[in-house]
Amino acid sequence: MRQKALFLDRDGVINHDPGDYTKSLDEFHLLPGALETMKAWYDRGYKLVVITNQAGLDKGLYTQDDVEQIHQFLQGRCVAMGFRIEECLYCPHHEGRSGRCLCRKPGSLLIERALHRYGLDPAQSLMMGDKPRDVEAAEKAGIQGLLIPVNEGPLRPEMLGL
Ligand SMILES: [Mg+2]
Ligand SMILES: [Zn+2]
């Protein structure tokens, strides 16, 4: 049996989205309960993968080092709680600057890359995001997408009967 996974958007799902960009670790504020909910999914056998658009990179608002620092911090918090994120994949492109890429959601390239890399079964996986483009990207990759309210944290598995 192939592996099931929970794909998560980052800003507005795991951390508070102020409405523009989360540019540095100083601006990265975990939503209450988000880590506990991620652990609940992990404990049910779901691999965790974060898929995030970071067009602020292309706009020069922050650097890849800033993004990596945030993701290392996030992973550290997860590991301290006894679970881990498989990978945080991000698109650094902005449509106006780099032209249209395949990795920026609603593109599904990053999701497909993770499916392949970790042997994940799209039919047993789901994706949560706070924007329609998150759901669109998931569906392109054959995964059920769930639109959730911004800044309220991911849905717990028992809320979905899982
Ligand atoms: Mg978001
Ligand atoms: Zn891209």
CATH code, 5-160: 3.40.50.1000
Q: What's the confidence (pLDDT) of residue 97?
A: 74
Which one has a higher pLDDT value, 120 or 95?
120
**For residue 1, pLDDT beyond 70:** no
pTM for the model: 0.97
Q: Is residue 130 annotated as part of the catalytic site, yes or no?
A: no
Ligand nearest to the CA of 93: 2
Of 11, 17, 66, 130, which residue is the catalytic one?
Answer: 11
**HEC assignment per residue over the chain:** CCECEEEECCECCCECCCCCCCCCHHHCCECCCHHHHHHHHHHCCCEEEEEEECCCCCCCCCCHHHHHHHHHHHHHHHHHCCCCCCEEEEECCCHHHHCCCCCCCCCCHHHHHHHHHCCECHHHCEEEECCHHHHHHHHHCCCEEEECCCCCCCCCHHHHCC
**For residue 113, pLDDT beyond 70:** yes
What are the structural domain ranges in the chain? 5-160
Q: What's the confidence (pLDDT) of residue 95?
A: 83
Q: Is residue 134 annotated as part of the catalytic site, yes or no?
A: no
